[in-house]
A and B are shown apart, each in its own frame.
Chain A
């Protein structure tokens, strides 16, 4: 059974970089059928796509966040990471990692989510 789990600091200072890691169990990241993605959901708001990465390192980023986002992958450790720079209070959200189908682009397996608060 494939499982994803987010980990990282729950509190980040304004202007700092938010860093989260997604640990994948039950599957290799080197699967041609999947991308590995990050999404977020501010309190009471809609889901927002952040970006996705293929095991080869190919990435797709949300254009509105692209200048501040880096997603990296290390298949050997079954992990991939999110770095979001220059954060503000508007980046406070529950952050999810999720597996994305390469065929129809849907997210079929999600981590439980990690609340990250941006505050001094």
Chain B
């Protein structure tokens, strides 16, 4: 089984900050990595798929990069609505998810 490890688990930041979240895969997965945003009590929303492709309607301050075993999600300028949890997902028929990163207001 491929495991996904996210870091950090918690991140305190201010509006306007640039933040980066990392997701590491236990084996190479090419570009088959997605990122989701989840707010309390709500279903996740897809942000990025294929490691770096922005899903339709997602603001351009979100970006993704990486290939193989190491991937990053970057928010270039944190907005108030971005304080949420973020999850990476291995994109295949047996999807696994990372443990999540909670982004909190500093």
A: residues with CB less than 8 A from B are 39, 46-49, 52, 60, 62-63, 96, 98, 101, 104-108, 110-113
Answer whether A104 and B49 are a contact pair too, CB < 8 Å, given A110-B43, A111-B43. Answer: yes
Interface size counted on chain B using CB atoms at 8 A: 25
Answer whether A46 and B97 are a contact pair too, CB < 8 Å, given A106-B91, A108-B55. Answer: yes
Q: Which residue of B1, B91, B94, B99 contacts A104 across the interface (Cβ within 8 Å)?
A: B91
Q: Mark B69-87, 1 if CB is under 8 A from A, else 0.
A: 0000000000000000001
B: residues with CB less than 8 A from A are 1, 32, 34, 36, 42-46, 49-50, 53, 55, 87, 89, 91-100
A113 near B98 with CB under 8 A, answer no
Min CB distance A6 to B, Å, is 10
Closest to B97 in A: A47
- Chain A residues, CB < 8 A from B49: 101, 104, 106
- Chain B residues, CB < 8 A from A107: 36, 44, 46, 89, 95
Answer whether A104 and B87 are a contact pair too, CB < 8 Å, given A46-B97, A110-B44, A113-B43. Answer: no
Min CB distance A25 to B, Å, is 16
* Number of cross-chain contacts by CB at 8 Å: 59
Answer whether A62 and B99 are a contact pair too, CB < 8 Å, given A47-B87, A96-B43. Answer: no
Closest to A102 in B: B93
- Chain B residues, CB < 8 A from A113: 42-43
